[in-house]
Structure 1
Amino acid sequence: MLAFAAVVLTSHVSITLAEPSPKALSPAILNRTVTATLPDSQHIFPPGAGAEIANSQCMICHSAGMVTRQPPLSMSVWKSEINKMRTAYGAPMPEDQVDALAKYLTTVNGKP
């Protein structure tokens, strides 16, 4: 099993991987660092009822562009996607904001 730690600095992520068996691996393998530069997202969601929820909740993990480039989805599919982010990935979004966000995402990038 790999253990990892991540440090996020603005749009830069650094991940250090460590193997569990120090006797079997060299020191170079035990402490290696992988660096990735993420796309800079200076953009926010388009204005509208629910944009403040999208900007404060979705942009914790996603850029506004990544979300708005999704195929047009119905409100029920957006709700399912939002709830998946909450339950499977631990998004800290309050349940009482799901409907408002799904409605907003359907309005800006969906099938009514």
Structure 2
Amino acid sequence: MRSSALALLLVITATGMSDGYAGSPADAPLATALNRTINVTLPDSHNVFPPGEGAEIANSQCMICHSAGMVTRQPPLSYDQWKLEINKMRSAYGAPLPENEVDSLAKYLTTITGKQQGK
């Protein structure tokens, strides 16, 4: 897996004031004095999901935000429970997983970490 690095740039408006600044414009700090670059290095994950039908979906979609280990250490979930979790990731957190891959991913996660349907 490629190394992940994230650079955050805090940008202040051209006048040097944010919308929430309540002081006098003359007392506002200059924007150039407030601009900063912060480098954040995220940990690499060399682990991927176990092989199986759906692993490629998990590796390409789940690992955008989660490590494989974080997902595989979850309590056993049924197919329906995994579908709820996956759809929560899509709706609440904006996971870019296409809707037509939800069922395949839920089936895969059930086989590697969850309860078989009906148990």
- Which category of TM-score, normalised to the shorter sequence, fits these structures? 0.7 to 0.9
Shift of 1:98: 0.6
Q: Distance in 2 between matches of 1:11 and 1:35?
A: 11
Q: Distance in 1 between matches of 2:76 and 2:37?
A: 38
Equivalent in 77, 80, 84 of residue 84 of structure 2: 80
Equivalent in 36, 58, 63 of residue 62 of structure 2: 58
Superposition pairs of residues 1-112 of structure 1, within 5 angstroms: 10-20=3-13, 22-23=16-17, 24-26=28-30, 27-28=32-33, 30-112=34-116
Q: Give the TM-score normalised by structure 2.
A: 0.72
SS for the counterpart of 1:73 is coil
Unaligned runs of 5+ in 1: 1-8
Q: Give the TM-score normalised by structure 1.
A: 0.76
Shift of 1:55: 1.3
Structure with the larger RCO, 1 or 2 (CA within 8 Å, 6+ apart): 2
Q: Which has the larger Rg?
A: 2
Aligned sequence identity (%): 66
SS for the counterpart of 1:111 is coil
Q: Which amino acid aligns with 2:96?
A: P
Q: Distance in 1 between matches of 2:104 and 2:52?
A: 11
CA RMSD in angstroms, aligned pairs only: 2.0
- Higher relative strand content: 1
The count of residues paired between Structure 1 and Structure 2 equals 103
Moved more, 47-56 or 58-67: 58-67
Shift of 1:75: 1.7
Q: Distance in 2 between matches of 1:18 and 1:70?
A: 38
